[in-house]
Structure 1
Amino acid sequence: MTQPSLSLVDTDPAELAVDAIVIGLHSQPEEDGALLPAAGAESIAAAFDGKLTATLALLGASGAPGEVTKLATLGTVAAPLLIAVGLGNEPTGPAPDLETLRRGAGAAVRALAGSRTVALALPSADDADAAPVLRAVLEGALLGGYRFAGYKTKPQKGRRDPVGELRLHVPDATDETALAEVRRAEVVARAVRLTRDWVNEPPNVLQPAEFADRIVAAAEGTGLEVEVLDFEALKAGGYGGIVAVGQGSEAPPRLVKLSYTPEGVSDPKRVALVGKGITFDTGGVSIKPSAGMWEMKSDMAGAAAVAATLLAVAALKPGVAVSGYLAIAENMPSGSAYRPGDVITMFNGKRVEVFNTDAEGRMVLGDAMARACADGTDYLFETSTLTGGQVISLGKRISGLMGSDEATGLVEAAGAVVGEPSWRMPLPDDVRKGMESEIADICQTNANLDRAGHMLQGGVFLREFVAEGVEWAHIDIAGPSYHTGEATGYWTKGGTGVPVRTFLQLIESL
């Protein structure tokens, strides 16, 4: 679906001639939960002659975060429909929590599907905090209304088109800082939405060659350098891991590299982003149970996030050199598939004894990470839907994070800013010891087929492919990359776009 147009307005919110106006609503615990219009809604509350909160309470509003209450204005203000979105308890500081704002804006815009023009009179902040508050509202609003176009042959009854135009009320619509945030939000949201589109595609449509072709097409005209290695080039180049995983499929694998070099920056910091792009994962010979296997179309979410991040980097033009490495394959069982017991020679020369063909992600990533280090980089950030152990340990919102202190610290800090949290996990020596092989350099999984510390095994394995002196982090997004429940906040069902915004925030911090 097309991204909504976005603009700033400084007209009195009560006088905005739009289809709907969105305000925030707080609860006041010290006042027995009495409702309080959030900052930005003053003129609208005044137009209701002091009766707004009482009316909203009668409609069931409580001010709980993300709660949406609709009220027909009947001419009280210019907009015919008022949406009050809960922002939680009355803030003690100058503005509500940024993630609460982000989720509230997303919930409100999604609830207004079918409206052509929507204005948001949500809280702003003083000069010191204005940019992050504005950024949170803009990103939430643009992402909350996302919907995958899909493949329905007939219009769905009752399904309304997403909002077409968003207007955000600010004190000064000509302020250059605010306008810069609008431009940035449009780029970032476009990258996240593209990631979601790719993840949501059916796997018979988005096979490796098609995925690579779409990435190349998206990069055309952006200034990014593009390199694509096909199956024959991968075999000739010694990419044993990608070749092994991809050889069981009739749709052969690809490695795509996207590169951005800043203009006018001497000796810039170099960042490599690596993403797992398994367009469908059956588990190969070590086949998965059939229940829920359809969700394995999202096993390319890491590569989708990295590719979309590079497209955003090309538009935002930071003073950092950034390269993206996308290891793309389909893991299928067949007469040509790799087997448990195989020994695979990886791009960096290490030999891996395979115990489980369903641990294919680390095989393709090992090659891509080794290639990134061979090309030269200061930082390497890899993201992948790597292990079910991440979901078991940390759930569906918190990514698993492993690696060197500096790199994991950067990821952790960036994720905290944008609302994509991660949790640092260890890389214990005893886990590495359990992956010793009698015939190769390392086993792909625990040599005793023990799933204890499953998430940690993935990180320990990937560490073998990071060159000395490179700061690195592994971000396991098995849970956060795909949302199977009902829409919530700015997450809709399906692909989420995690961790695109973390990567962009991290690159800006460098």
Structure 2
Amino acid sequence: MSVMLKQAKEVKKNAPLAVLLASQEEASGYCQNEAEKQYVKKKLKDKIRLVSVNQYERMLFFIAPAEEQESHLKREYYRKKGFELANIIRSEQLEDLQLTTTSDVQPLLDFSEGLLLSSYSFDKYKSAVKEKDARVFEALTIIHPNLKKKALEEVSKLVDATFYARDLVNEPVVTLSAEQLSKSLRKAGKELGFKVEVFGKDKIRALKMGGLLAVNAGSVDPPAFIVLEYKPDKAVNKKPYVLVGKGVTYDTGGLSLKPSNSMMMMKSDMGGAAAVAGAFMATVKNKLPIHLVGLIPSTDNRPGGNAITPGDVISISDGSTVEVLNTDAEGRLILADALVYAKKYEPELVIDLATLTGAAAMALGKEGIVMMGTADEKTKQQLKNAGNETYERLVEFPLWDEYREYLNSDIADLKNIGGRMAGAITAAVFLKHFTAYPWIHMDIAGSAFLETPDFYKGKNGSGAGVRLLYQFLKTLAK
């Protein structure tokens, strides 16, 4: 993260200042004259929630108190106001900002999170853009007597991790193959202190990961199966939590070729892998006492070479046979091998994340994440609560027994698609076949890559899942 986060004991009078108002009347104390007071009072009375005042020696910003009653709605209100102020800062070309309130610390942290998340830009391939030009501003200084340094650092590290996930999703496949993804994670592991092991094609073949090998058969680039592990000395869990992320670095659909307009954002088909990587980084950076494992099966899906064809039968690493009726339903094939591999850890819980189905995106759009699973209700509710708090909201779909019949095959144990109806559900039912532990599936197809800007989540790679998973793991660590 390029914006510097700082703390101070008191406000400087000659530097730009944003005030999260505890009450509308409080604004008067910052105004220099009666005209300013009346101006701000009128704007707030007219329900203007962010009021700007140019005092010449500094810019002054007032953010009206949240009217929402529920905690998660208040938190999102302040994040979005952070986004709005980021746009003003950018247009005014301010280099730094002070932020304060006489209210609680939490709104400051949420506002800062929204502000910092809004500072993201992916300018790696713009030759005319310098890093300084890409930043929203240089430094954010927060003034509050009860603000703990650790809480401020936590926000900074979580934003960093989200940006890492966004960078991975935004990176073109020409520079982010499965091998290059592996190298990026090896580097991160070395810098942060978590273990990274990468299985190449020979090891993948020895493990009989037929799903990953089949999807990779049409590519000239080798696959990778990436294993991350973080095991602190005083972990609260005896059995690890396992995160599984779909790592399809580009999805053409294989021989079941996508229409060209559907391929425009298919570099984002490794959004699940990016979420796992980002959540891992946030967990390690903030030193959560959680034994965590990450599994990322990775390849691109191309129609060349010996690409699998509709009608082929493949074997997953547990021996289950799958009739492949659509090569564009490839994510579940590589996830199946990862879910089988997860059994060796005897995990406390497995969560997989994937940009898996258009059906999930059609159902919820970018506003939520489809969730299903076999974990107990307490765990599911904890995850839903984390989704609310981060505003990456979860909607649980059913896994009724009848949906398994949609996957019945005439010639194999199951087929990889269940027809047009209940597509997000039948994809999860397919994955469920390969689990033997408490498990939750999250389909992030609608929120991982945004074709239009969405407040502080931005445009293109959003980093969906990182903040949600971190909040969930933080809850478990208490």
TM-score (norm 2): 0.91
Q: Using the TM superposition, give the Cα deviation of residue 38 of structure 1 relative to its aligned residue in structure 2, in angstroms.
A: 8.3
Which amino acid in 1 is paired with 2:59? L
Does 1:23 find its partner at 2:19? yes
Does 1:72 find its partner at 2:54? yes
Which amino acid in 1 is paired with 2:452? G
Contact 1:268 1:320 in 2 (8 A): no
Q: Using the TM superposition, give the Cα deviation of residue 324 of structure 1 relative to its aligned residue in structure 2, in angstroms.
A: 0.4
Which amino acid in 1 is paired with 2:425? L
Contact 1:37 1:53 in 2 (8 A): no
Question: 1 CA distance for matches of 2:153 and 2:51?
Answer: 30
Q: Using the TM superposition, give the Cα deviation of residue 115 of structure 1 relative to its aligned residue in structure 2, in angstroms.
A: 2.2
* Matched residues, number: 471
Question: 2 CA distance for matches of 1:266 and 1:137?
Answer: 31
Query: Structure 2, unaligned stretches of length 5 or more?
Result: none
Tell me the SS of whatever aligns to 2:326: coil
- Residue from 24, 28, 34 that aligns with 1:49: 34
Which amino acid in 1 is paired with 2:99? L
Question: 2 CA distance for matches of 1:224 and 1:271?
Answer: 15
Contact 2:20 2:108 in 1 (8 A): no
Q: Using the TM superposition, give the Cα deviation of residue 471 of structure 1 relative to its aligned residue in structure 2, in angstroms.
A: 1.5
Aligned to 1:182: 152
Question: 1 CA distance for matches of 2:207 and 2:235?
Answer: 32
Question: 1 CA distance for matches of 2:472 and 2:141?
Answer: 28
Tell me the SS of whatever aligns to 2:247: strand
Aligned to 1:103: 80
Cα separation, partners in 2 of 1:134 and 1:59, compared to 1, 3 Å: closer
Q: Using the TM superposition, give the Cα deviation of residue 71 of structure 1 relative to its aligned residue in structure 2, in angstroms.
A: 3.4
Question: 2 CA distance for matches of 1:465 and 1:104?
Answer: 44
Q: In the TM superposition, what whole-angstrom CA distance separates every residue of 1:355-399 from its partner, at most 9, and x where no partner exists?
A: 111011111111111111223211001111011111111111200
- Residue from 97, 113, 119 that aligns with 1:139: 113
Question: 2 CA distance for matches of 1:291 and 1:122?
Answer: 47
Tell me the SS of whatever aligns to 1:255: strand
Q: In the TM superposition, what whole-angstrom CA distance separates every residue of 1:211-233 from its partner, at most 9, and x where no partner exists?
A: 11111111113221111011221
Does 1:459 find its partner at 2:428? yes
Higher helix share: 2
Does 1:505 find its partner at 2:471? yes
Aligned to 1:433: 405
Which amino acid in 1 is paired with 2:193? G
Which amino acid in 1 is paired with 2:7? L
Q: Using the TM superposition, give the Cα deviation of residue 63 of structure 1 relative to its aligned residue in structure 2, in angstroms.
A: 2.5
Aligned to 2:122: 148
Does 1:417 find its partner at 2:389? yes
Question: 1 CA distance for matches of 2:65 and 2:327?
Answer: 46
Aligned to 1:33: none
Q: Using the TM superposition, give the Cα deviation of residue 138 of structure 1 relative to its aligned residue in structure 2, in angstroms.
A: 2.8
Which amino acid in 2 is paired with 1:252? P
Aligned to 1:471: 438
- Residue from 46, 61, 76 that aligns with 1:83: 61
Contact 1:24 1:38 in 2 (8 A): no
Aligned to 1:308: 278
Aligned to 2:97: 118
Contact 1:274 1:381 in 2 (8 A): yes
Aligned to 2:167: 197
Q: Using the TM superposition, give the Cα deviation of residue 134 of structure 1 relative to its aligned residue in structure 2, in angstroms.
A: 3.9
Aligned to 1:273: 243
Tell me the SS of whatever aligns to 2:18: strand
Contact 2:224 2:299 in 1 (8 A): yes
The worse-fitting range, judged by mean Cα deviation, of 423-432 and 378-387 is 423-432
Cα separation, partners in 2 of 1:335 and 1:266, compared to 1, 3 Å: closer
Tell me the SS of whatever aligns to 2:445: coil
Q: Using the TM superposition, give the Cα deviation of residue 304 of structure 1 relative to its aligned residue in structure 2, in angstroms.
A: 0.8
Aligned to 1:216: 186
Contact 1:3 1:190 in 2 (8 A): no
Tell me the SS of whatever aligns to 2:384: helix
Aligned to 2:458: 492
Query: Structure 1, unaligned stretches of length 5 or more?
Result: 27-35
Cα separation, partners in 2 of 1:69 and 1:225, compared to 1, 3 Å: same
Cα separation, partners in 2 of 1:151 and 1:266, compared to 1, 3 Å: closer
Contact 1:191 1:312 in 2 (8 A): yes
Contact 1:38 1:122 in 2 (8 A): no
Q: Using the TM superposition, give the Cα deviation of residue 238 of structure 1 relative to its aligned residue in structure 2, in angstroms.
A: 0.8
Contact 1:224 1:258 in 2 (8 A): yes
Cα separation, partners in 2 of 1:111 and 1:269, compared to 1, 3 Å: farther
The worse-fitting range, judged by mean Cα deviation, of 340-349 and 112-121 is 112-121
Which amino acid in 2 is paired with 1:43? G
Q: Using the TM superposition, give the Cα deviation of residue 93 of structure 1 relative to its aligned residue in structure 2, in angstroms.
A: 8.7
Q: In the TM superposition, what whole-angstrom CA distance separates every residue of 1:39-58 from its partner, at most 9, and x where no partner exists?
A: 7x5632x4343634625867
The alignment yields a C-alpha RMSD, in angstroms, of 2.6
Question: 1 CA distance for matches of 2:176 and 2:319?
Answer: 31
- Residue from 384, 387, 390 that aligns with 2:354: 384
Contact 2:24 2:44 in 1 (8 A): no
Question: 2 CA distance for matches of 1:42 and 1:350?
Answer: 70
Aligned to 1:7: 6
Tell me the SS of whatever aligns to 2:431: helix
Question: 1 CA distance for matches of 2:313 and 2:300?
Answer: 20
